[in-house]
């Protein structure tokens, strides 16, 4: 629990006014050679994921899971009609309710843009099974759908995971 608190404090805590540009808008990132293309069977999006990661259809969303260590991307297109920021705020409330006692800390929650579209981002830490974790979620609307892209990793993996996060976001294309 202390690790999650320290992690949130180190990155500025609560608001959406962090010192660095949001992950959704950092420039200069390309999809690395060797990443695998993936097209949503319903045509809602296309993306590229790291080699060896497995797409897992979970009904309302698809996870792209790294073997072994628990990092994953989750993609969820939905027609719920919610705007990005209210959707993220609702998701945060739901997450807090489900993870009571898991040392949840908000790093930031606020508006941003994603590929030039209005968006909202939410970054947070929590403890899962005694292991500190960190998540980043960006939500935007395109093609009549709200797209939510979540990345989670162990807190110790977070700094080394930033290139994968930026590349995954760079390769995401709404249908």
- 6-26 pLDDT, tens digit each: 333 333 333 443 434 455 555
Query: Can you give the pLDDT at residue 19?
Result: 38
Task: Give the confidence band of 69 by pLDDT, cuts at 50, 70, 90.
Answer: confident
The region of weakest confidence among 1-10, 69-78, 93-102 is: 1-10
Q: Tell me how far CA of residue 134 lies from CA of 49, 99, 172, in angstroms.
A: 19, 13, 21
Query: Can you give the pLDDT at residue 16?
Result: 40
- The predicted-structure confidence for 25-64, as pLDDT tens digits, reads as follows 555 578 999 999 999 999 999 999 999 999 999 999 999 9
The alpha carbon of residue 120 and the mean position of all alpha carbons in its chain are separated, in whole angstroms, by: 11
Higher pLDDT, 112 or 4: 112
> Is residue 115 within 8 Å of residue 141, measured between CB atoms?
no
Mention every residue, 6+ apart, whose C-beta is less than 8 A from residue 153: 70, 71, 133, 134, 161
């Amino acid at each position: 629990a202390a690790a999650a608190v320290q992690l949130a404090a180190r990155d500025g805590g609560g608001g959406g006014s962090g010192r660095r540009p949001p992950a959704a808008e950092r420039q200069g990132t390309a999809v690395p050679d060797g990443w695998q293309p993936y097209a949503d069977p319903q045509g809602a999006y296309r993306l590229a994921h790291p080699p060896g990661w497995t797409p897992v259809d979970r009904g309302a969303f698809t996870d792209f899971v790294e073997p072994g260590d628990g990092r994953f991307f989750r993609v969820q297109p939905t027609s719920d009609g919610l705007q990005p920021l209210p959707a993220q705020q609702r998701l945060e409330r739901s997450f807090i309710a489900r993870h009571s006692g898991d040392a949840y800390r908000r790093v930031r929650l606020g508006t941003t843009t994603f590929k030039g579209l209005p968006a909202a981002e939410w970054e947070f830490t929590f403890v899962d099974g005694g292991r500190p974790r960190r998540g980043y979620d960006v939500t935007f609307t395109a093609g009549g759908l709200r797209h939510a892209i979540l990345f989670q990793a162990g807190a110790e993996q977070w700094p080394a995971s930033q290139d994968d996060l930026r590349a995954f976001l760079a390769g995401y294309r709404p249908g």
